[in-house]
Amino acid sequence: MKLDNRIVDKQIDALVGALRDPIIVLPGGWGDTLPDWIKTSITLERLVMNMKALKGEEMTGSDAEVAAYLYTASLTAPMDSDWTQIYLYIATKVYEKWRTKDSGVTMPDDVRVDSLDNYRMGLLKELKEWLYRQRVKAREERGRAERREAREEVAARAPKQLGLGF
């Protein structure tokens, strides 16, 4: 079976993106306060998402990415009850997946949220899709900037002083 080069390139781009894409946070200065464990969790969940995409699932933002985004949002401005419940739901999932096994500490019962209604699940799905689009957009912009810089560097090195007309 012959693989289409565009498909392979897209898969490689997604893999590199999982490792290099920025973590999308709400502007306001809180992004630099993300704990290291959540950053690692984001990378690992992005890699898992890439594997799922190979099996036909749609690419979206991960639970850890949502947790990071809502963390910065909660520190920037108060959230309404829907987003508070979504944040606590996703925080419960992410904390227990990535932190409980290291620390043995679970999410406290008074803030634990184990399920969401359909409306809030819809909001969560939309946020995951939006976060993924923002990541791809940032990756594409970075690629354009890198190609522009490379062209400018080549142009700067051109032998203009020799009068060759380049």
What are the extents of the domains in the chain? Answer: 5-130
For the chain, 166 residues long, the average pLDDT of each consecutive 10-residue run is 70 84 91 92 94 90 97 95 97 87 80 96 98 93 83 73 57
Rounded to a whole number of angstroms, the distance between the first and last alpha carbons of the chain is 45
Inter-residue contact 127 to 61 (CB < 8 Å): yes
pLDDT the model gives residue 166: 52
The burial class, CB within 10 Å (0-12 / 13-18 / 19+), for 18 is buried
